[in-house]
Structures are given as C-alpha cells and as structure tokens.
Amino acid sequence: MEIKEEITPEPNSHQVRVTALFSGISRGTEALVYRGQVPPSQWDRMRAPMQAGTFPFPVKYGYSLVGRRSDTDALCFVLHPHQDVCTVSRDQVVDVPEDVPPLRAVLASNMETALNAVWDAQILPAQRVAIVGAGAVGSLIAFLCKQIPETRVHLIDCQPSRADIATAFGCTFSENPPEPTEFDSVFHCSGTGGGLAAALRCARTEGPVVELSWYGTQAVPVYLGEDFHARRLQLISSQVGHVAKPMRHRVTHRERLETALKLLNNSILDRLLAEPIRFEDAPRDLPAVFSSAQPPLCQPLAYT
C-alpha cells in the first residue's frame, strides 16, 4: 500500500474539482480488495467509481469522499477513491445537507447500504428485528429500524464492547442469539459463516433473512439442513448496486444517496466513527485496521 502522485486535470464546464476533507474506509470490502480476495469473475462488478488500475490489488479504491467543491465551496460527497484532490463530473457530486458535519458525512455509503437493506426487508411497525454483526452497516440498520414505530431491534455481535452502540440506539444486545429466536426479520452483516448460521436460527417460520455480507473468494457454508425447509425460511440478497425492488419504480441511485445523507443528521451516529488517520499515514496504519480482530466501525482518513 502506498500513496502515489497523479496530475489532476483542470475542470471543464461539465466538471468540478473537489478538495478532500475526509474519506471513509469501508472495511469489509476494502480489506478483501487489499488482500486480493476479489474473484476474477467479479472484477468488473466490483470496480469502484473512478477506480484506477485493475484487480487484483494494488488499485486505487474507495467510494466515500467528502470535500469542498470548487464552483460553490459547498460541502459535498462523491463516490471516489481516497485522494486529496479530484476532478469529477458535476452529476457525480452530491451536496451534503447543512446539518450534517463533514466527518459524519463519510458514513453516507454505509447509510445508503443500510437504507437499501431496510427497503429490501420491508420492515413494518411493531416488528421484531435482529441484526447479526454490529459493524457500521449493521449498526446503521439498527438505527434506521428504531425510527419505525414500536419496532423492537436486537443487535448480536461477538464483541461485547458494541453493546454500548446498541444501548445508545435504543436496542437490546447479546453476544449470541437470544431465546426464543422468533424474529420477524433478520439481517446478516458479520461476514462470517457462523454469523449466517446464527441469523438463520433467529428467524421465525417463513421469516426473511437478508444477507448483506460479501465474502469475496471465501467459501462460506450455508446451513440448509435441520429445520431450514420445515420453517420455510427466506434467504434474501441485498446489494447496493441496485435500488431495492420495493422502491426501484420511483427512486434513482442519486435520490437514494441524497436520502442517506439527510438521514445522517443525528449526532448519535458519531459513535460509529473512529479517530481519523491522517491521509499521509494511511500506508502505515491501514494494514493494522484491516487485520484487527476488533476493528473500528468506520475508520475515516483526514486530509487537513
């Protein structure tokens, strides 16, 4: 991992220059990219907007950058790799709402993923919801579900320190699936086979299990024996590349991202952010973040 210099072209009439303030590390995906675990069959699908180079690693990767745009000096968000200055098309830039500070805005990509998953699951008032894996995406799903009236949300994670996040969001917490495991909807975000098995155990009869983890080249066992068929469980894939089907008829990708940014207007979400790493220190510090057994929920990079 290293920082490379490149020439950033002057913006033309259809472009804008963005000077970065912060960018966010999407640890699950970027760790797989860093370790070279993107399967060749998915190299085209997994290309980040504005990616430089081709898989496997090293490539210029990332998709959560917040900065100031040159035409208006407004705070903006752009799906762009980690870079201190970039030139992009105007239609790729989304202004950040005034009530969302720049550091918190790096959660926009994670919030967009969480929002899409909640749409996929079609969560209703008064449902019981379980989330296996209290990382950034899982925690944001919990945050969103708690906004739905009378919805009871339970977070499950092997790291007991994440109980504080659950409490702050008004959720219950455990390190293992509670008994009885009869949740109306279950989200799996742990990135492990054991987590997926736990998620399947949590669902009620005919209940949906929404799978958000992406495993790259890892082979993951799916436990479809025991009572999986008897309980008629539903295993649903949720992926941010497409707007969730229940909303696709009226929401564009840009509108979904704009909504995700608006949903970040709550200071409680600052709990998900680690102390920023200076951009120039990223080659030294990020390998430890990617390999940590207890990684931060969202690791920002700071450019100023």
Q: What are the beta bridge partners of residue 88?
A: 16
Same domain, 21 and 96: yes
Q: For residues 198 and 235, state if they share a domain.
A: yes
- The pairing of strands 128-132 and 152-156 is parallel
Q: Of the residues 200, 231, 247, which one is the last residue of a structural domain?
A: 247
Stretch (H or E) spanning 160: none
Q: Which of 202, 232, 247 is a domain's end point?
A: 247
Output the pLDDT for position 180. 67
| Helix-then-strand count for the chain, H and E | 7, 13
* CA separation for the pair 23, 107 (Å, rounded): 9
Helix (H) or strand (E) holding 172: strand 172-174
Q: How many domains does the chain have?
A: 2
Q: How far is CA 243 from the centre of its chain?
A: 15
DSSP character string of 87-120: EEEGGGEEEPPTTS-TTGGGGHHHHHHHHHHHHH
The pLDDT, as a whole number, for residue 225 is 78
Enclosing domain of residue 84: 15-103+273-302
Given its phi and psi angles, is residue 53 left (phi above 0), alpha (psi -120 to 50 degrees) or beta?
left
Give average pLDDT by consecutive 10-residue segment, the chain, 304 residues.
90 94 88 85 85 85 94 95 95 96 97 97 97 95 97 95 95 89 92 91 93 85 84 92 94 97 97 95 91 83 94
Q: 69 in a domain, yes or no?
A: yes
* Cα–Cα separations (whole angstroms), residue 16 to 92, 235, 257, 275: 9, 42, 19, 29
pLDDT at 181: 73
Assess whether 131 and 213 both reside in one domain.
yes
If asked whether residues 88 and 29 sit together in one domain, one would say: yes
pTM: 0.94
